[in-house]
Every structure is written in structure tokens, then in C-alpha cells.
Amino acid sequence: MSTIGQRIRELRIERGLTQTQLAKGIVTPSMISQIEAGKTTPSQPLMERLAARLEVSIDQVSMAGTRAKVFSTLMHIVRACVEAGEWELAETLMADDQVADQQTNFEAMELAGRIHLAKGRLEEASASFSRALEIAREQEKWPLIPSIFLYLGQTYAAAEDWHVALHLYRQAKVSAERFPSQHGNLPADIAIELSRAYFAIGEREHAVAEADYARSLLLIGDSAKAAVQALARQAVAHLHQGEEAQAHKLAQEVAANHEIIHWLDATAEAFLVQIDQLLSDENWREADALIAKGLAQCEPFMGPEQRAQFQLARGRFFAHKGLSRDALSFTVQALALCEPPTVPMLRQALLVARALWDQNAVEDTRYLMAWIADHSLGRDVSYLYEDSPLWSLMEEAEAQPTAL
């Protein structure tokens, strides 16, 4: 599937014409260049003259425009699915013939990468984001580049390759400063991920500085995040019922307002990054105060995973205060919010388990390790607890699984 500009370029190359030869006596070569790059759309009279020069019918050129409109509609709906977290439906739509051959479309590659990343397919995510980066550079869409560096960084971070992730986040920051994006909270998103990466490699001062910077960029008001998410869910529901026109209309509203969702999600993430750092530094009082503040400001707008991360932070706090039963209760409730729990959630749960062990709460530790063993769904997460006293407890739990 091609846009009008891409179709004109294909036909020109097939006939061995340069842009100057195609333009001769009709328009300037620079106008042909802009048309082929998708920066301008030719008028009907101009399309007729170009079609004649290319020795094709006007329909052979203009049908590309019709297909482009269908593709645009589909992309709006896919993006609504992504914003609603409807990953399975988004992936089904991306397999449509209208999308399958869109290796030259930035939006298709970006959305494909986000779907792969959400589903844990890191190699495919990296390939899609890398292709999106190539397209953005080829088409000189410079403001789109920072977000792709950010997604690539998140992909490497998911693989625990923190040094590569840090390099990519720095690239995102530099390119965002050079090419400001319409994505208003992108600088805050980048600062949050930079903080995580710095923290992972032990550079605490940089981590704290980036987290503070992210918080300074984000403000919470009486946001309509819940309303925007409801619109996305309605769009998906209409799509399920075959009402594509209504789905597209709602999807366009989501596209126009999805910054609200990202803004609030970023605010919650900024709180979580700082809370994690305070807990790791054993600054219990400040951590507890920040957990309470984060929940007060963000809880009405949080999704299950963010809510679970706040619960796990509570669990770590109670474990270190010696309140083992409260720690266990908060941790198990948190893990139950997302099935299956994500690897970052399991990592936080293991920190609770280690704290319980250090407090000599052996039975509670054993119970929690058994719960983790039963819910890790065969994923190898042994690297999270090797060389620690938890190793023998996990071996015991895996040898004798318990129905909890």
C-alpha cells in the first residue's frame, strides 16, 4: 500500500525518469520532491498531468490516496487499542492486509514496536523501532526521533542491558532538545527512564537529579484521564460490534486527548522512581511520605500495574519496619492485581521476601516464595535471587508447589 507520493515515485523509477524529467514543463523538480516525500499533496489537475507523463490512468495514482485514507483510519483505531491496553486486538488489526506491508510507514512501525514490547517480544520490538528510526531519518521527520530512542531504550532496559539503555535515553534527551516534539511530557518521560538507568548502574546522584527533574516537569490537575480511557474502550467496543465508522470517530477523540493519559502515567512513574530510590537507601520516613503523596495525587488515574507497584512499595516499607503480616498482605495483593505479574513486580516482591528473611520472619518468607514460584509461569527469574538465602527457599517451593 502506498501514498500518492510514494506511488508517483514508484512509477517514475519504473519508467527510468528523474525528478527533473518528470517535472519538465509541468512543475519544478523541488515540487516533485515534496510530493514524493509526502510533504504536499498534488491537486487534481496536476495529478492528471503527472499521470499522463507517467503513461498511467489517473485511477492508478489516486487509488493510492483512497488506500491511504483507509490506512489512516485503521491506524487511529490501532492507536486507540494501544491506549486502552487492548494488545491482542491491536495486534490482530496490525495483521490486516492494509497494514502488513507497511514497512515504509513510521506510525505502523512505531505501533508494531509498542505491541511487541508490551508482549515481551524484545527482538521484534527492537527491529520495529529501528525501522521506525530509519523511516524518520529518511523522511526528515526529526521531531519523531526522540520518542523512538526512548522506546528503544525501554526495550534494552526490559532485557536488563542498562548501559545500552542509558546510551539510548541520552540520545533521546539530546534529540528532544534539538527537535522539540508535540508530545508535551516527552522530556519528563526521558528523565524518568534516565533516572531508572542511572539507579540500575549505581549512579545514585544522577538518578536522584533526573527523578527530581521529572517531578518538576509534571503537574497534576483535575485530569480527564478516566474519561479518555473510557473513550478508548468505547472505540474498541464499537470495533468488536463491526461499527467501524463510530469506532474511528471515537479513536480520533482518543488521539486528540491521549496526552492526558501519558502525562498522568508519567507523573505516577516519577513518584515510583523516587520511592524505589528512597527505599533502597533505607530512607523509610521519606519513602512512606512519598508513597502517601503519590497515592493521593495519582491513585484515581492509575492502571493495575502502577497500583501494584505502589502496593509493593508499601510491602517493602512494612517488611523493613518488622510488620511481616502487613508486608505479606500488601505484596500478595499487589501481585494478584496483574496476572501474570511482570518481572519488575517479581523483583520488588523478592525484595520484600529478602527483607522478611532479614527480620527472621521465616514462615512468611517461605509463603511468599511459594506464591512467587506458583505465579512466575515457568519464567526463569533465578537471576533475581541467586547468591542469596532465598535460593534454597525457591528450590524448596519449586520442588513442592503449594496451592495458595
pLDDT on residue 123 = 93
pLDDT on residue 224 = 46
Q: Is the pLDDT of residue 401 over 50?
A: no
Residue 387 lies in a domain: yes
Domain range for residue 353? 303-404
Q: Is the pLDDT of residue 301 over 90?
A: no
pLDDT on residue 391 = 54
CATH of the domain at 49: 1.10.260.40
239 pLDDT tier (thresholds 50, 70, 90) = low
Residue that has been written with the C-alpha cell 523512538 in this structure = 148
Please report, as a single letter, which amino acid is at residue 278: L
Q: Of the ranges 99-108, 132-141, 267-276, which one carries the lowest mean pLDDT score?
A: 99-108
169 pLDDT tier (thresholds 50, 70, 90) = very high
404 pLDDT tier (thresholds 50, 70, 90) = very low
Q: Of the ranges 1-15, 142-156, 202-216, which one carries the lowest mean pLDDT score?
A: 1-15
DSSP secondary structure string, 192-230?
HHHHHHHHHTT-HHHHHHHHHHHHHH----S--HHHHHH
- Mean pLDDT value of segment 131-144: 86
Q: Is 383 exposed, middle or buried (0-12, 13-18, 19+ CB in 10 A)?
A: exposed
Whole-number percent of the chain with pLDDT over 70? 73
Question: Nearest Cα to 67, choosing from 143, 138, 2, 142?
Answer: 2
69-110: pLDDT as tens digits? 667 777 878 887 787 778 888 888 887 655 555 666 788 899
What's the chain's average pLDDT? 78
342-369: pLDDT as tens digits? 777 878 888 888 888 888 888 888 888 8
- Mean pLDDT value of segment 154-172: 93
- Residue pair 239/269 in contact (Cβ under 8 Å)? The answer is no
Residue 49 lies in a domain: yes
Residue that has been written with the C-alpha cell 527482538 in this structure = 123
- Mean pLDDT value of segment 279-297: 84
- Residue pair 132/105 in contact (Cβ under 8 Å)? The answer is no
Q: What is the DSSP code (8-state) at residue 97?
A: H
Residue 389 lies in a domain: yes
Beta-carbon contacts of residue 385 (< 8 Å; ≥ 6 apart)? 350, 353, 354, 391, 394
Task: Determine the Cα–Cα distance for residues 104 and 125; give it in Å rounded to an integer.
Answer: 16
pLDDT on residue 211 = 81
67 pLDDT tier (thresholds 50, 70, 90) = low
Q: Is the pLDDT of residue 293 over 50?
A: yes
Residue 326 lies in a domain: yes
- Residue pair 5/38 in contact (Cβ under 8 Å)? The answer is yes
Residue 19 lies in a domain: yes
- Helix or strand or coil: residue 388? coil
Please tell me which residue, 161 or 382, carries the higher pLDDT value. 161
Please tell me which residue, 202 or 2, carries the higher pLDDT value. 202
Whole-number percent of the chain with pLDDT over 90? 12
Residue 358 lies in a domain: yes
Residue 201 lies in a domain: no
pLDDT on residue 165 = 94
| Total domains in the fold of the chain | 2
Q: Of the ranges 101-110, 151-160, 169-178, 200-209, which one carries the lowest mean pLDDT score?
A: 101-110
Residue 50 lies in a domain: yes
pLDDT on residue 221 = 38
- Residue pair 350/385 in contact (Cβ under 8 Å)? The answer is yes
Q: Is the pLDDT of residue 166 over 90?
A: yes
The residue among 18, 38, 56 that closes a domain is 56
57 pLDDT tier (thresholds 50, 70, 90) = confident
